[in-house]
Each structure stands twice: as C-alpha cells, then as structure tokens.
C-alpha cells in the first residue's frame, strides 16, 4: 500500500484518520451547508429584531444585523482555509458581478443618502464574499438543496406554529403572514424552498426523501394559505415549464435553437398584430389594463417613474431611494397613500427600483448579469450529469441546474410585482448570489 493510500485508509476500527482528506471534505461541506442554512434563516427572520418605533429603520442599517453577518463570515474562516484557491478563482470568474458592484460603489458618491448607501454596499459585498466561500465549500449537489430546504422548511414550520398559537395575528386581511408583518415575505420564502426541495427529490433516497417530502408539504401548505399570488404563480409555472425544458434539453442543438426562435418570434408577432389592429380600429392598446391597479401598485409605479425622470442615467445611488433618511426619502415628500398612511420599503417592481437607484447604466448592467446567469443555467441543463451521479463526484447534477434555471426565471417574473434584485439582506438577493456563484463554479469545473 502506498504512503498516500495508507493516510487515506481507515484504521481497524473503521473510522477514518484525522488527516483523511475525504473526512475533512465532508466536515467542510457540513459547515458550509450549516452556514448557508443559518444565513437564509437570518434573511427571513432577522427583520423581526428591528425597532418598531421608527418605521424608517430597517435591517439594512441595523448595527446588530451587521454583527450577525460578520459572525457568519467569521464562522466561514475554516472553509476559506481549505478552499481559498477555489474561492479566489470563483470571485475572479464572477467579473460581471464585480463590475456591477464597482458601479454601485461609484454611485455612492452621488447617492441621496450616502452614509446609508455605503453601509448597504459594504453589507452586500460582505454577503457576496460569504456566499462565495460557502459555495466553494459545498461539493455535492444534494447538500445545497438540503441546506435551502431545511432553512425554508424551518421558517414554514415556525410560521405554521405561530398560526396555531396566535391565529389572529398570523392571518392578515390579505393572507397568512405568519411571523412576518405581511404575506409576501412568507410567500417568497416558501416559493424559494419549494423550488429547491422539489428537484432534490431526485437526488435523495429512503428516509431523506421522505423527510424532504414532509418539508415540501409544509412549505406548499403555507404558500397556499399565504395567498401570495406572485409566489404561487412562480411555483405553478415552474412545475409546468421545467419538465418541458428538461425534455427540450435532450433534443439536438438545431432543434433547440429553432424552438427558442419560435418562442421569441410568436409572442413578438402576436404583439405586433395586436398593435396593428389597434391602429386600424382606433382602439386604445392599453384599454385591457386601464382599470387594473395591481393591488394599488400602479400609483407607486407612476411615482417611481416620475423620480426616474429626474435622474435617468445614474439614478439615486445604490439602495438610496427607499427606507433612507426621512429628510431626503422621496416617497415621504408626497401626499400619496404610501407617503402618508403607510411606509413602504420598495417600489414593488425590481426593474423600476434598479432603474431608480442605478439609472440606465445600473439597469443595463444588472440585466446583463442576470441574462448571463440564465444562459449558464440553460447550458447546464443540457450538459450536466444525471441525478444518480450527484453524490459520487461532486459535479453539478441536472436537477440542480433545473433548480437554478427555475429560480432565475421565477426571480425575473417575481420582480415585475415585487422588488428583490441586488437588494441587501433579502432572501432572494442571497439566493441570486448562490445561483450565480454555483453556476460559475460549474463552468470553472469544465462544464461536462
């Protein structure tokens, strides 16, 4: 037996030696998975630590929140010690996102509230570094799914328990909010958990699959009673669209390109035909949507568009539009309902918020980063290995590629009525970092 094999071989007791690389890898992956789960739980429940006396104070600038993130980063140091080369390579491969963050850093200099914008930028960069370390530490595909499912499932169980204990407080007029102040936060948490758990059923066996099914049932039930229509629509669409995409991915390249072209050209042709008909008949093309309020969002959108017109190219600065210093926050200077009767922290449209804070340059950069990630996820579905090999060699499995694509597409849809693109401290913002970094890691590994 060679010296290397002797070091790797277990002793007579069947327990691996301390210097066993495989054992160290398992320990590193376990720690990375635990930190990922704790991170997601904090993004879900961390806002509950905020002071309710000041409605403009948010978790983005809460000092205790910053300490928690620093603690999570400190806990990841052992992972960095073993995976520092992989982490550095992963950060370098994520150059489009680094360039976007560089522009966001530049925008702090002209932000409406520079101190708050700077603190939020620092926190965003910290989260990016933490997720790069965590993703580098997770080698096997199921571990990533399990960490996300456990975090979101635990949140769902906590919300359900609160609903049993205090049903009057947990159920609002709009829907079930659980421990949160409104239903949408509950809905998007369950949406993310369902998107992660469903593909993982193909990666687990036996008791692991049974436990995951139980968590999936809990998350699906909480999502249903939350009445968060956007999150529900994303999950339903994923259940229909993803199997079709997996089937298409097995077709020849020319057929895939033809299907993609048809998918783009048919809706475009239908829209042009509708506009032409409106022009000939003299009908208003926006008539079908004139009476739609999108749950009072249209008033917010019109306000944001007016503010965008004041700073079209560079915007108001990174995360320097909502929940900032009341003396300069634009929405608090209006006499509309969201400036007088309620304090909101987003424009309920991620693209408008990105345009309002980053201008045309920030929006273009953000869309490029998102489009690149979607393209990588689509390529991964066609090239990744079957689920049966997921536990053996650490490469990305096809169910994980499907999860990333479903999440990214769902995020794009979700941001038409909610705002979670490149924000700070949000569940979906962290999820976006995880998806992009894991896809970059797959690309660096050679894209089998």
Tell me the average pLDDT across 139-151.
90
Res 434 pLDDT > 80:
yes
pLDDT band at 383 (very low <50, low <70, confident <90, very high): confident
What is the predicted pLDDT for the residue at 13? 39
Q: Which two tokens stand for residue 238?
A: 């994923």
Instruction: Report the helix count and the strand count for the chain, using DSSP H and E.
Output: 18, 0
**Count of other CB atoms within 10 angstroms of residue 358:** 28
Question: Cα separation of 231 and 392, whole Å?
Answer: 34
Question: Do 170 and 177 contact (CB within 8 A), yes or no?
Answer: yes
Res 18 pLDDT > 60:
no
Condensed to tens digits (0 to 9), the pLDDT of residues 258-277 reads 887 887 788 888 888 888 88
pTM: 0.87
What is the predicted pLDDT for the residue at 53? 37
Res 109 pLDDT > 50:
yes
Condensed to tens digits (0 to 9), the pLDDT of residues 187-243 reads 989 999 999 999 988 888 888 889 999 999 999 999 999 988 888 988 998 888 888
Q: What is the dihedral of CA 163, 185, 183, 58, to 10 degrees?
A: 100
Question: Cα separation of 148 and 195, whole Å?
Answer: 10
**What Cα–Cα distance (Å) separates residue 71 from each residue in 60, 131, 141, 195, 197?**
16, 14, 26, 28, 27
SS3 385: strand
Find the range with the poorest average confidence among 82-86, 209-213, 393-397: 393-397
What is the predicted pLDDT for the residue at 376? 94
Q: Which two tokens stand for residue 310?
A: 């004041």
What is the predicted pLDDT for the residue at 382? 82
SS3 176: strand
Q: Which two tokens stand for residue 7?
A: 């070091």
**Mean pLDDT of the residues in the chain:** 85
SS3 171: strand
3-state class percentages of the chain: helix first, strand second, coil last, to nearest 5: 70, 0, 25
Question: Cα separation of 418 and 319, whole Å?
Answer: 15
Q: Which two tokens stand for residue 37?
A: 């789960």
- Cα radius of gyration (the chain): 23
Question: Cα separation of 198 and 179, whole Å?
Answer: 24
Question: Cα separation of 375 and 355, whole Å?
Answer: 23
Res 9 pLDDT > 60:
no
**Residue among 349, 343, 392, 357 at smallest CA distance from 120:** 357
Q: Report phi then psi at 328, rounded to 5.
A: -120, -5
DSSP 386: P
Question: Cα separation of 188 and 94, whole Å?
Answer: 26
**Residue among 66, 40, 53 at smallest CA distance from 192:** 40
DSSP 202: T
More confident residue, 79 or 10: 79
Tell me the average pLDDT across 101-114.
96
């Amino acid at each position: 037996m060679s010296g290397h094999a002797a070091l790797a071989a277990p002793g007579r007791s069947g327990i691996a030696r301390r210097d066993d690389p495989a054992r160290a890898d398992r320990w590193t992956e376990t720690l990375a998975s635990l930190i990922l789960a704790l991170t997601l739980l904090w993004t879900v429940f961390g806002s509950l630590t905020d002071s309710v006396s000041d409605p403009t104070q948010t978790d983005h600038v809460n000092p205790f929140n910053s300490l928690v993130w620093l603690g999570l980063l400190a806990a990841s140091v052992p992972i960095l010690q073993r995976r520092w080369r992989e982490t550095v390579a992963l950060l370098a491969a994520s150059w489009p996102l680094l360039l976007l963050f560089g522009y966001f850093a530049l925008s702090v200099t002209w932000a409406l509230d520079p101190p708050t914008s700077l603190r939020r930028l620092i926190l965003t960069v910290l989260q990016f570094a933490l997720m790069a370390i965590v993703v580098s530490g997770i080698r096997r595909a199921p571990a990533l799914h399990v960490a996300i499912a456990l975090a979101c499932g635990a949140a769902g169980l906590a919300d359900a328990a609160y609903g049993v204990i205090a049903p009057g407080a947990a159920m609002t007029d709009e829907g079930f909010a659980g421990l949160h102040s409104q239903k949408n936060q509950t809905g998007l948490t369950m949406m993310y958990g369902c998107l992660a758990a469903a593909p993982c059923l193909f990666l687990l066996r036996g008791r692991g699959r049974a436990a995951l099914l139980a968590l999936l049932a809990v998350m699906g039930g909480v999502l249903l009673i939350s009445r968060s229509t956007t999150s529900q629509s994303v999950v339903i669409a994923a259940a229909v669209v993803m199997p079709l995409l997996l089937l298409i991915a097995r077709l020849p390249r020319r057929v895939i390109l033809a299907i993609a072209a048809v998918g783009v050209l048919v809706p475009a042709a239908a829209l042009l035909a509708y506009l032409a008909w409106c022009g000939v008949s003299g009908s208003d093309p926006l008539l079908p949507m004139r009476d739609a309020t999108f749950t009072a969002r249209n008033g917010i959108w019109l306000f944001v568009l007016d503010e965008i017109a004041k700073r079209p190219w560079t915007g108001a600065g990174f995360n320097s539009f909502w929940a900032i210093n009341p003396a300069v926050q634009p929405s608090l200077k209006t006499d509309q309902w969201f400036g007088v009767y309620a304090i909101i922290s987003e424009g309920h449209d991620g693209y408008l918020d990105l345009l309002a804070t980053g201008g045309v340059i920030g929006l273009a950069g953000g869309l490029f980063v998102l489009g690149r990630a979607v393209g990588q996820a689509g390529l991964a579905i066609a090239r990744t290995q079957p689920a049966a090999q997921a536990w053996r060699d650490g490469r990305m499995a096809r169910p994980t590629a499907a999860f990333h694509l479903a999440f990214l597409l769902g995020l794009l849809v979700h941001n038409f009525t909610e705002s979670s693109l490149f924000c700070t401290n949000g569940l979906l913002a962290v999820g976006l970092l995880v998806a992009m970094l894991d896809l970059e890691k797959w690309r660096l590994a050679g894209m089998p």
